[in-house]
Structure 1
Amino acid sequence: MVPSDPVEEAVGQAFREEWGQVVALLIRVTGDWDLAEECAQDAFATALERWPRDGIPNRPGAWLTTTARNRAIDRLRREAVGAAKLREVAAMVDDVVQVSPADSDDVPDERLRLMFTCCHPALAIEARVALTLRTLAGLGTGEIARAFLVSEQTMQKRIARAKQKIRNAAIPYRVPPAHLLPERTPAVLAVLYLLFNEGYTATTGADLIRRSLSAEAIRLTRVLAHLMPDEPEVSGLLALMLLHDARSDTRQDAEGILIPLEEQDRTRWNAPMIAEGIEILETALRRREPGAYQIQAAIAACHATAQSTADTDWPQIAGLYNQLARYVPSPVVRLNQAVAIGMAEGPAAGLLLVDELVASGTLTEYHLLPATRADLLRRAGRYPEAAQAYRDALTKAITEPERAFLRRRIDEVS
């Protein structure tokens, strides 16, 4: 095995830990998003050149911030901006760069400002996700485009429009004041959860799981939880992600076909990640400020701690879904509740709820509605009806792993 380059490892770690902080500082002072990203990129490129010769600095984040600041000063000087702006940039990190965020719990809120700006409600949800990945996670435009299966040109325009909207609408670069936090934090959490879900169960394409996206969502949520430790819903979302992600390695077989929860090898679930998720959730619940993410994490914890499907506390899960419906009154929540009731009280009870959803016409294009109905029919031994429902689901499923799973089920009940 070829030994890894310590400098490349150090730069890679610094990129993961410091990119968002460096860019956030530069954006705050210069107000120029493109300049901030370019100078940050230059700083990391310079690190690859100089660290092999000069050694890895004790505080990589401070070194990178100073280098990016100097590059920004050079650029602004060449562009003949005002002297006041140059002085502001020159002094921008005098009281910050002495301590790297990775070295201290006293993390400046620059990334928090950036996160709330990227996720401002005035931006379209697609733009929020793209801008968050670009500025906070440091993903390239091509990477983001491939993740969401659009052309690089399309994604480039999407990001450019988002930045232009921020400028033209004068969206403030700040954490909202206390009285606006309750209405603004959910927008940030929604973006992070959407990002995680797209990685955990892709909505399009050949791959069911895109680990890079779910990993970035977890990393950014950790940052947010660290910066907002008194927000239980932030902790609830982080716990939810960890409890789900702990099962990722068991969700597909060697051929890439989806493996349902009841058939997964629970001995291969990530036990330390489950333990961390439960600890975070219990800490959040002790604040007695329940919310949708905490309830969903509690449901995930019921699954993660059960030894088998038979040992799962399905009545408790059904009750938790009933609570969740008060916060998220959506037909998808009711569909999940129907599954839990079907497991707790028998397939017939679950089918009653599913058939109500079918009659309502609210999920006509959602492939999991006929797939859930098919599974309940299969459990009830009504195989011809189950086969037809699986075929209905197959016409609506988008990802190939899910389609392959449905074809396998059709063969089983036929």
Structure 2
Amino acid sequence: MNKPEEKQSHQLAEHFFRTEYGRLVSVITRYLGTANVQTAEDIVQETLSKAVDHWQQHGIPPNPQAWLYTTAKNHTLNILKRKSVHRNFEASSRTLTDKSAEWEDFEPTSATLSDNQLKMMFVCCHPALSENSQIALILKILCGFSIAEIAHAFFSSHETINKRLVRGRRQLRENKVAFEIPPDLDQRITIVLKTIYLLFNEGYFPSQKNSLIRYDLCLEAIRLVQLLLAGPTTENKADCHALLALMYLNASRFEARMEEGGLGMDMEKQDRKKWDQDLIQSGIRQLQWAMRAGKSSNFLILATISAHHCIAPNFEATDWPAILALYDQLIVLENSPLVHLNRSVALSKAEGNQKAIAELLQLESRTDIGKHYLFHATLGELYGDENEREKAIGCFEKAIALAGNQRDIALLKKKLMQFVPIR
């Protein structure tokens, strides 16, 4: 295979890793049982590895998805036929022959894949698991996140995330969690939505890639909420609509967030003509449906904040006092350092930079927000606006040291140079 074809096979394999990983794990777990979800993950990893090698040597098959499912099916059948492994499945009511026969007959239709993936979402969010383990499992098993990406989402270490995953898989096994849509649907959907929001954010602000936006992750997050809305009736449909509204509204600004050269562009400088009006209107409709329930939620408030940005004709006309009031409501529901950090931007616009600086310094003294590069970047912007050059330079240097993405580092260096005197 020549170099362009080799590169294409790598790109296609990476694409399928994201789009098919969770579907494959869900389908295989249906047959092996939730006690053996680690085995299902191993099968998928091996299948994707084989895909890269085979496609490089023989070219990309006409139907890559069918190739993946056939390879995964054959590998699973081989495992099911090993008597030593079969002992691990004795708790299942189905026999080995039943499972093998079902796999032989399985066809990866849109309906069957959606049904299995929906069930897998709720398996990962079983109440016997801690919330952190639930989120880590769904990001790893259903969405194909790496340990590094999950650690970034949690502001945690690789070791901590790995322990959560091991603990979560063990709890699935010990509690003999059934692969089904649960009767306590409303209780579990909250954690599912929180996890999907983390997925969208990893696409919107990638931790590992140097690209500004990972569209595949954002689209996958939107697809998962649409899957929930099309699923069984739940009283929390309003939260689903609110999260979908938030993602549509944020996604509407994709094209304007990047300047020539690939660096990010602040909202103040974005060309609003590039904002996708169809997505904005879709987001507003979802927001209106969510509001009809008369229930406040984190997603509803965040979507309303995003709507204020999207409907403002320009940055100066943004209703900052309204946005600040919304952040005050959000803090009642989620009193986290990151919410306070985001609130500081609205505070600076509504009541002045000095007040925002004072609150950020207080926030740093009582939390660990100082470990996050965005804290220092935000503080640097505020000091810069107040012409406190030395303080701005110090903040941007700290932000650069803490940032883990070369794309973010390049943008921070560009901002730093605005305050460094030319010699």
TM-score with structure 1 setting the length: 0.72
How far off its partner does 1:275 sit?
Answer: 1.8
Question: Which residue of structure 2 aligns with residue 334 of structure 1?
Answer: 340
Question: Which residue of structure 1 aligns with residue 243 of structure 2?
Answer: 237
Question: Which residue of structure 2 aligns with residue 5 of structure 1?
Answer: none
Partners of 1:68 and 1:353 lie apart in 2 by 54
Q: 1:407 to 1:280 in 2, by over 3 A?
A: same
Q: SS where residue 364 of structure 1 aligns?
A: helix
Do structure 1's residue 181 and structure 2's residue 191 form an aligned pair?
no
Q: 1:282 to 1:121 in 2, by over 3 A?
A: same
How far off its partner does 1:375 sit?
Answer: 1.5
Q: Which structure 2 segments of 5+ residues have no match?
A: 1-11, 51-62, 153-159
Do structure 1's residue 259 and structure 2's residue 269 form an aligned pair?
no
Q: Judge conservation of contact 1:69–1:90 (CA < 8 Å) in 2.
A: no
| 1:182-230 Cα deviation digits (max 9, x unpaired) | 3x33322222222222221123564443333232222222212322564
Count the aligned residue pairs.
Answer: 389
Q: Judge conservation of contact 2:118–2:228 (CA < 8 Å) in 1.
A: yes
1:409 to 400, 410, 415: 415
Question: Which residue of structure 2 aligns with residue 4 of structure 1?
Answer: none
Do structure 1's residue 395 and structure 2's residue 401 form an aligned pair?
yes
Question: Which residue of structure 1 aligns with residue 292 of structure 2?
Answer: 286
State the AA in 2 paired with 1:191. Answer: T
How far off its partner does 1:326 sit?
Answer: 0.9
Q: 1:268 to 1:26 in 2, by over 3 A?
A: farther
Partners of 2:371 and 2:148 lie apart in 1 by 25
Partners of 1:16 and 1:270 lie apart in 2 by 30
Q: Judge conservation of contact 2:35–2:172 (CA < 8 Å) in 1.
A: no
2:354 to 339, 348, 355: 348
Report which stretch shifted further, 380-389 or 266-275. 380-389
State the AA in 2 paired with 1:186. Answer: T
State the AA in 1 paired with 2:186. Answer: L
Q: Which structure 1 segments of 5+ residues have no match?
A: 1-7, 46-55
Question: Which residue of structure 2 aligns with residue 191 of structure 1?
Answer: 195
Partners of 2:395 and 2:162 lie apart in 1 by 41
Q: What does residue range 10-409 of structure 1 map to in structure 2 within 5 Å? A: 22-23=27-28, 25-26=30-31, 33=37, 76=80, 79=83, 85=95, 89=99, 102=111, 110-120=116-126, 128=134, 131-132=137-138, 136=142, 144=146, 163-178=169-184, 181-182=186-187, 184-204=188-208, 206-227=210-231, 230=234, 231=236, 232-409=238-415
How far off its partner does 1:313 sit?
Answer: 1.2
| 1:257-285 Cα deviation digits (max 9, x unpaired) | 22111112222222222222221121011
Q: 1:321 to 1:72 in 2, by over 3 A?
A: same
Structure ranking higher in helix proportion: 2
State the AA in 2 paired with 1:372. Answer: T
State the AA in 2 paired with 1:181. Answer: D
Question: Which residue of structure 1 aligns with residue 60 of structure 2?
Answer: none
Partners of 1:317 and 1:310 lie apart in 2 by 13
Partners of 1:364 and 1:38 lie apart in 2 by 38
Partners of 1:134 and 1:331 lie apart in 2 by 25
Partners of 1:15 and 1:148 lie apart in 2 by 18
Q: 1:134 to 1:148 in 2, by over 3 A?
A: closer
State the AA in 1 paired with 2:194. Answer: A
Report which stretch shifted further, 328-337 or 111-120. 111-120
Query: Percent of aligned pairs with the same residue?
Result: 30
How far off its partner does 1:287 sit?
Answer: 0.7
Q: Judge conservation of contact 2:32–2:40 (CA < 8 Å) in 1.
A: yes
